[in-house]
Amino acid sequence: MSLLAADIRAFFAAARKELRQQRRYPTLFLGLLFWPVLLPASWVLMGHAYSGNDPQALAAFAERAGSTNVAGFVFVGYAMYMWLSSLLWGSGTALRQEQVRGSLEAVFVTPASRLVPLFGPGVATLIPMAATFVVMGVALWVLFGVVPPLGAVLQAAVVVILGVPALYAIGTLFAATVLRFGEVAPIVQLIRGMFVLACGITFPVAMLPGWAQVWAWLMPPTYIVEDLRRVLLQGAGLAEVAPHVAIVLTIAMLTALLAIAVFRFLETSARRSGMLSRF
C-alpha cells in the first residue's frame, strides 16, 4: 500500500470515526428535521406579509432576485446558510474537540499525514447536510407547493458537489488556526455573519451597495447560491453556470493551499511552543 493510499484510507477512517461519534447522540439529528423548515418558512411568510402577494411587489422582487418564487429563493438561501455553517464549524470543531479531549497528540504521533485530522472529520458533515437538503426540498413542496423539475434538481446536485471543495477549504482554513488560537468560534461566527450579509443568502446581492457587491463576488458562497437559484428557479443549465463553477473551483484550490500552508506553519509553531497539548 503506497503512502498516498494509506493516507486516503486514514482520511476516510477519520470521517467514519466522526460519523460514529455523531450517531451516539441521536438527538442531534432532531435539529435536522426542524430548523431547515421552521426558519425559512417563517421568512417566506414574512415576505408574503410584506408584499401581500401584490404582482407589482413580486415583479420588483423578480427584478432584483431573478425569480418571483419567493419561497424557492428563501429556501435555497437558507440551505446555503446551513451548509456554510456546517462546513465552517465541522473541521474546526472536530480539531478543537481533539485538542480539548487530549486525543490530538495521539493522532499526531501516528505516521498519517497531518492533513488527515485537518480535512478528514469535515467529511462527516456532508451526510447530515445531504439529509438537510432533502428535508428542505420536501418542506418546500409540502408547505409552498414548489417542485422544481427533476432535471433541475439533478443539475443543482452537481452544483452542490462542485461547490463542496470551496466551502470545505474555507472551513479548513479556520480549523488550521485552532492549533494556535484554540477557541476560534467567535471568528467563525463573525465570518459566517459576513457571508450571510454579503453572499445573497437571504436577500439578492443587488440590494448591497456597489462596493459591497465587488467583495460579494470574491466569495464562493455568492456564486454557489446564485447558481443554485438559476438552475432550480430560472431553468438555467449547467453550461450557463459553468464559468461560475470554474471560478469557485479556482478559489477552492487557492483557499485549500492557503489552509495547508497555515496549518503546516502553525503545527510547526505549536511543536516549538508546546501548544499541541495546551488548550
Sign of CA dihedral 253, 255, 265, 97: negative
Question: Would you state the cell numbers that stand for residue 97, as one nine-digit string?
Answer: 474537540
Q: Binding segment for another protein among 1-9, 42-50, 142-150, 217-225 (CB under 8 A)?
A: 1-9
Question: Would you state the cell numbers that stand for residue 279, as one nine-digit string?
Answer: 488548550
String of DSSP letters for 118-177: HHTGGGGGHHHHHHHHHHHHHHHHHHH-----HHHHHHHHHHHHHHHHHHHHHHHHHHHT
Pick out residues in 112-171 that bind another protein (CB under 8 A).
112, 116
What's the closest the beta carbon of residue 176 comes to another protein, in angstroms? 18
Q: Does 28 bind another protein (CB under 8 A)?
A: no
Q: Does 17 bind another protein (CB under 8 A)?
A: yes
- Letters for 43-82 (x = contact with another protein by CB under 8 A, - = none) are ----------------------------------------
List the one residue from 20, 193, 215, 261 that touches another protein (CB under 8 A).
20
Nearest to 149 by CA among 240, 245, 237, 75: 237
- Give the nearer residue to another protein in terms of CB position, either 111 or 210: 111
* Angle formed by the axes of helices 126-144 and 70-101, nearest 10°: 160
Residue 248 · residue 223 · CB < 8 Å? yes
What's the closest the beta carbon of residue 221 comes to another protein, in angstroms? 30
List the one residue from 28, 59, 106, 207 that touches another protein (CB under 8 A).
106
Q: Does 186 bind another protein (CB under 8 A)?
A: no
List the one residue from 42, 110, 189, 250 that touches another protein (CB under 8 A).
110
What's the closest the beta carbon of residue 277 comes to another protein, in angstroms? 7
List the one residue from 24, 27, 49, 55 that touches another protein (CB under 8 A).
24
Q: Does 1 bind another protein (CB under 8 A)?
A: yes
* CA 48-51-52 angle, 5° bins: 70
List the one residue from 9, 64, 130, 154 that touches another protein (CB under 8 A).
9
Q: Could you count the other beta carbons within 10 Å of the beta carbon of residue 208?
A: 17
The whole-angstrom separation of Cα 119 and Cα 157 is 22
Q: Does 272 bind another protein (CB under 8 A)?
A: yes
Q: Does 271 bind another protein (CB under 8 A)?
A: yes
Nearest to 142 by CA among 69, 51, 71, 47: 71
Residues that bind another protein (CB under 8 A): 1, 3, 6-7, 9-10, 12-14, 16-17, 20-21, 24-25, 101-103, 105-112, 116, 268, 271-274, 276-277
